[in-house]
Amino acid sequence: MTRHVIAAVDELPPGTRKFLDIDGRPIAIFNIKGEFFGLLNRCPHQGAALCEGPLIGLAQSSDPGEIEYTKLGEIIRCPWHGWEFDIRTGQSYCDPKRFRARAYPVNVEPGTAVVKGPYVAETIAVSVESDYVVVDL
């Protein structure tokens, strides 16, 4: 497993996402309310670029006419067929038993740790004063 430095934390404010190609794999990193999550940018259903879809919430209902809208900004909706996945876990809400989006662990590391560590950070200049978004792959 290699750790990759993706961006300085300041570059990825809450509600934004960044698309990357890491060792040939299309990945997207999301900042959801200050927490970072990574997903494979490929829908497990028919292969669309999943992470280019809109960020929505989850409509749930206990009874007809009663609709609760939760997890606002935490659900990614596929740009083709509208399949919904939880960004935190990769769980599908359309067909959870058969399909799951591949999730990658993302962490925030201080510059001091990143500079010392065996990380891959070819596109960003790392300085010890900043915090960095790091993904394990």
Residue 4 sits in the site that holds other proteins (CB under 8 A)? yes
Binding status of residue 10 toward other proteins by CB under 8 A: no
12 binds other proteins (CB under 8 A): no
Residue 115 sits in the site that holds other proteins (CB under 8 A):
no
In which region does residue 80 sit, left (phi positive, over 0), alpha (psi from -120 to 50) or beta (all else)? alpha
C-alpha span between 23 and 52 (Å, rounded): 20
Q: Does 82 bind other proteins (CB under 8 A)?
A: yes
Binding segment toward other proteins, per CB under 8 A, in 56-64, 67-75, 85-93, 116-124: 116-124
Taking the C-alpha atoms of residue 34 and residue 29, their distance in angstroms, rounded to an integer, is 12
- At residue 116, what are phi and psi to the nearest 5 degrees? -80, -30
Is-contact 101 44, C-beta < 8 A?
Answer: yes
CA atoms of 79 and 89, how far apart (whole Å): 19
Residue with Cβ nearer other proteins (19 or 128): 19
Q: Which lies closer to other proteins via its Cβ, residue 32 or residue 50?
A: 50
String of contacts with other proteins for each residue 84-113, x by CB under 8 A:
------------------------------
Q: How far, in whole angstroms, is CA 19 from its chain's centroid?
A: 9
- Residues binding other proteins (CB under 8 A): 4-6, 18-23, 26, 42, 46-49, 52-54, 79-82, 120-124
